[in-house]
Amino acid sequence: MRRLAFLCFALGVFEALIACAARSTLPPPKPPSSSAPPPAASSAPVVSEADASVAVAPPPPPPPAPPLLAVSPAPTSACNEQAPQDFLIRSNFLKEKDGNQHAIQWRTDHYGWFRPFGRPGPDAQPPSASVVDTTFMGLPVKMHRKVVPALMCVEEDIKRTCADHPYIAHALAGIRFRNTYRGGEVTNHIFGIAIDIDPAINTCCGCVPPWNDAPACKRPAKTEYDRMAMPECWVHAFERYGFYWLGHDVLRDTMHYEFLGDPDGILKTPGDGNGH
């Protein structure tokens, strides 16, 4: 009996070993088939459990764009640009029959009556009644109030366009209270609409002595611009706003500017015209 029991035990162990060996030689089981494609790999960064509690800093913001350069608007004047009126230019009205009288009457109607020239209107006042104190290029001068805005626009234009040609004025002359013309003419200084700049160094070679005795009148010159101390750009600034330069006249009066534009058309925006 003991032998039989031992044989049965040995046989059981042997069968168990055979079964284990058989299982070790079988191929691994196949995964279940599926028609769905494998999941795409994630583009998110893999964070280990150890790093899960650490905040991931966002990427730095792009540098700010450089500031846009401010573009200053083109400078504009408060005055309309206008040319002198032809019938008021001395060289023109002296050629016409009654041209001088027409010019005198127009100035009388717009600036005042200077006795005994022209025909006074109702309640006529002399030009001196409308003269105000103002300044030009830092110097005091008395001018008719109607033309002061144009003079201010000339000053602004000179400062803007003549920076490369510096010139400092030292003496001005505006209103006069007696006529300095002969032959029935009336100077625009009487009406307070003319201004002389530095008479000592800006000549009048067609005038009477001592003006026509100035050394500048004796030396050769290509143009009248060469006979004055003022830069030519000053002339152009005056001419943009209705002034006429008597350097163009046979008088060759380089110091002298007179407003021959339309006083009612000076300002772009209506104003009282009293200057500063």
Structural domain contains residue 80 = no
The CATH number given to whatever domain includes residue 167 is: 3.30.1380
pLDDT tens string 84-122? 999 999 999 999 999 999 999 999 999 999 999 999 999
Q: Find where tokens 């002969």 sit.
A: 182
Q: Which domain holds residue 94?
A: 86-265
pLDDT at 74 over 60: no
pLDDT confidence of residue 17: 43
- Could you tell me the strand order of the sheet in which 256-259 lies? 172-173, 194-197, 256-259, 243-245
Q: What is the 3-state secondary structure (H, E, C) of the chain?
A: CHHHHHHHHHHHHHHHHHHHHHHHCCCCCCCCCCCCCCCCCCCCCCCCHHHCCCCCCCCCCCCCCCCCCCCCCCCCCCECCECCCHHHCHHHHCCCCCHHHHHHHHHHHHHCCCCCCCCCCCCCCCHHHHEEEEEECCEEEEEECCCHHHHHHHHHHHHHHCCCCCCCCCCEECCCCCCCCCCCCCCCCCCCCEEEECCCCCCECCCCCCHHHCHHHHCCCCCHHHHCCCCHHHHHHHHHECEEEHHHCCCCECCEEEECCCHHHCECCCCCCCCC
* % of residues, the chain, pLDDT over 90: 64
**192: its two tokens:** 């307070």
Contact (Cβ atoms closer than 8 angstroms) between residue 250 and residue 125 = no
pLDDT confidence of residue 246: 97
For the segment 41-67, the average pLDDT, to the nearest whole number, is: 50
Confidence of residue 157 (pLDDT cuts 50, 70, 90): very high
Structural domain contains residue 132 = yes
pLDDT confidence of residue 76: 77
For the segment 201-212, the average pLDDT, to the nearest whole number, is: 92
pLDDT at 272 over 60: no
For the segment 55-65, the average pLDDT, to the nearest whole number, is: 58
pLDDT at 20 over 50: no
pLDDT confidence of residue 43: 45
Write the single-letter amino acid at 192: G
pLDDT confidence of residue 77: 85
Structural domain contains residue 3 = no
Structural domain contains residue 171 = yes
Poorest-pLDDT segment among 13-17, 65-69, 212-216: 13-17
pLDDT at 271 over 80: no
Count of domains for the chain: 1
pLDDT at 140 over 90: yes
Confidence of residue 63 (pLDDT cuts 50, 70, 90): low
pLDDT at 149 over 60: yes
pLDDT confidence of residue 141: 98
Structural domain contains residue 114 = yes
Structural domain contains residue 63 = no
Structural domain contains residue 274 = no
Structural domain contains residue 257 = yes
pLDDT confidence of residue 41: 47
Dist. CA 190–CA 20, nearest whole Å: 137
